[in-house]
A = this chain, B = another copy of it.
Amino acid sequence: MTDKPICLIVGAGDYIGAAIAKRFAKGGFHVVMGRRRGELFASLVEEIEANGGSAQGFTWDARRQETATEMFAMVEKEIGPIDICIFNVGGNVSFPILETTERVFRKVWEMCAYAAFLTGREAAKYMVVRQKGSIFFTGATASMKGNAGFAAFASGKFALRGLAQAMARELSPQNIHVAHLIVDAGVDTKFVRERKRQAGIDVETLPPDTLMNPDSIAEAYWYIHHQSRDGWTHELDIRPFAEKW
């Protein structure tokens, strides 16, 4: 058990998820993280603790209902009440429609929307009792626009947005802040740099801040969670200054 408020991050990957974890740990939260390969959390937990924070990482397949139910129960019972739950599972793939297998279409939805539903509902289960909490979802460019080659991903991200909106309209009056943050650009990752290179862009000579630092995104989560409830934001976009949109 911890006396700190708890920030749970489901889908805490190496970039946005890790940055959010560090931001909330720095701000005095105990951070609980889940991802499919929980063993990958070791160095992140170490880094957070070295900086005076506290965090725990778990193996957590967000697409399994049993996992969702058990893990939320475990966190609530053994660690403490979840103050904020952030859903950050990815799922960005691109295929022409004729090359989109049913498996891909289904998996992308499971990652983008079904896992979000399981996570959001389990979080709501505990927060509704307390009439208090935050549930945030990470969106993407594809949440707003279905581009050619992104049928599966756009469908998944649109699904997430519809879920977030309906949950916000239902849960906000119960003092639960539901937000949808649209990350409308490539975060600075090896994957994105490689993709830029393949598109003929010399990544090394890009102006500073052309790619997003995950820390900047984490700051938005931190801010939104700390809004007074008479002025809650449900949706905002985040993109680098030089991004075309």
Chain A residues proximal to chain B, CB less than 8 Å: 65, 96-98, 100, 102, 105-106, 109, 113-114, 117-118, 120-121, 124-125, 128, 142, 145-152, 154-173, 175, 177, 209-213, 215-217, 219-220, 223, 227-243, 245
Contact = CB atoms under 8 A, between A and B. Distances in A.
B236 A235 contact: yes
B230 A211 contact: yes
B245 A231 contact: no
A164 to B, nearest CB: 7
A177 B234 contact: no
A230 B245 contact: no
Nearest to A166: B146
Given A159-B158, A245-B169, A237 B240 contact: no
Given A98-B121, A223-B223, A229-B209, A242 B162 contact: no
B155 A170 contact: no
A126 to B, nearest CB: 10
A109 B102 contact: no
Contacts of A235: 236-237
A175 B54 CA distance: 37
Contact of A238 (B125, B157, B219, B232): B232
A194 to B, nearest CB: 19
Given A65-B102, A230-B241, 12 more contacts: A145-B165, A146-B166, A146-B169, A151-B162, A157-B162, A158-B159, A172-B243, A173-B242, A219-B227, A231-B240, A232-B238, A236-B236
A155 B173 CA distance: 20
A161 B142 CA distance: 12
A232 to B, nearest CB: 6
A216 B227 contact: yes
A142 B161 CA distance: 12
Contact of A210 (B106, B168, B230, B236): B230
Contacts of A243: 172
